[in-house]
Structure 1
Amino acid sequence: MSWGRWYFAVQAVAGAAWWAAVFTVPAVRTATLGSVQPILVALADVPLFVVASALAAAGVRAAAVVATVWTAVVMAALAVWATVTTEAGVGVLVMIGATVGSVLALALVLLGRIPTEWVTSGPLRFRTADPDAGRRRHVLGTTLQIVVFWGLFLGVFPLAIAFAEHRWQLHPPLPGPVTVVSVVTGVVVLVAASVLGILSAAAMSTQGAGTPLPSAMPNRLVVAGPYRSVRNPMALAGIAQGVAVGLLLTSWTVVVYALAGSIVWNCIVRPLEEDDLEHRFGDDFRRYAAQVRCWVPRWPIPASAPADAISPPRR
Structure 2
Amino acid sequence: MRTASAIAGSALFFIAAPGVVAGLVPWLLTARYHLPWSTLPGFVPVGWVLIVAAAALLLHAFARFALEGLGTPAPVAPTERLVVGGIYRHVRNPMYVAVLSIILGQALLFSSWALVAYAVIAAAAMVSFARLHEEPTLARRYGAEYEAYRRAVPGWLPRLTPWRG
Structure 1 Cα separation of the partners of residues 68 and 37 of structure 2:
46
Count of residue pairs brought into register by the alignment: 164
Q: In structure 2, what is the equivalent of residue 277 of structure 1?
A: 138
Q: In structure 1, what is the equivalent of residue 54 of structure 2?
A: 193
Structure 1 Cα separation of the partners of residues 56 and 63 of structure 2:
10
Aligned AA for 2:20?
L
Structure 2 Cα separation of the partners of residues 200 and 144 of structure 1:
14
- Aligned counterpart in structure 1 of residue 68 of structure 2, from 193, 207, 210: 207
- Aligned counterpart in structure 2 of residue 158 of structure 1, from 2, 10, 26: 26
> Is the 8 Å Cα contact of residues 38 and 111 (structure 2) preserved in structure 1?
no
- Aligned counterpart in structure 1 of residue 6 of structure 2, from 110, 131, 138: 138
Q: In structure 2, what is the equivalent of residue 268 of structure 1?
A: 129
Q: In structure 1, what is the equivalent of residue 94 of structure 2?
A: 233
> Is the 8 Å Cα contact of residues 204 and 212 (structure 1) preserved in structure 2?
yes
CA displacement 1:64-115 (0-9 Å, x = unmatched): xxxxxxxxxxxxxxxxxxxxxxxxxxxxxxxxxxxxxxxxxxxxxxxxxxxx
Aligned AA for 1:142?
S
Gap change, CA 1:174 and 1:162, over 3 Å in 2: closer
Q: In structure 2, what is the equivalent of residue 251 of structure 1?
A: 112
SS of the counterpart of 2:76?
helix
Could you state the TM-score of these two structures normalised by the residue count of structure 1? 0.48
The answer to whether structure 1 residue 148 and structure 2 residue 16 are counterparts is yes
Gaps of 5+ in 2: none
- Aligned sequence identity (%): 32
CA-CA distance at 1:174 after TM superposition: 9.4
Gap change, CA 1:148 and 1:163, over 3 Å in 2: same
Gaps of 5+ in 1: 1-132, 307-315
> Is the 8 Å Cα contact of residues 243 and 259 (structure 1) preserved in structure 2?
no
CA-CA distance at 1:300 after TM superposition: 2.0
Aligned AA for 2:132?
P
CA displacement 1:131-188 (0-9 Å, x = unmatched): xx51011112212222333432222211221229x9xxxx9x9983x0x522211100
Structure 2 Cα separation of the partners of residues 256 and 196 of structure 1:
23
Could you state the TM-score of these two structures normalised by the residue count of structure 2? 0.89
Aligned AA for 1:206?
L
CA-CA distance at 1:227 after TM superposition: 0.8
The answer to whether structure 1 residue 216 and structure 2 residue 84 are counterparts is no
Structure 2 Cα separation of the partners of residues 218 and 143 of structure 1:
14
Gap change, CA 1:159 and 1:219, over 3 Å in 2: same
> Is the 8 Å Cα contact of residues 200 and 227 (structure 1) preserved in structure 2?
yes
Asked which structure has the greater RCO (Cα within 8 Å, sep 6+), the reply is 2
CA RMSD, 1 decimal: 2.3
Structure 2 Cα separation of the partners of residues 270 and 239 of structure 1:
17
Q: Comparing both structures, which one devotes a greater share of its residues to helix?
A: 1
> Is the 8 Å Cα contact of residues 22 and 100 (structure 2) preserved in structure 1?
no
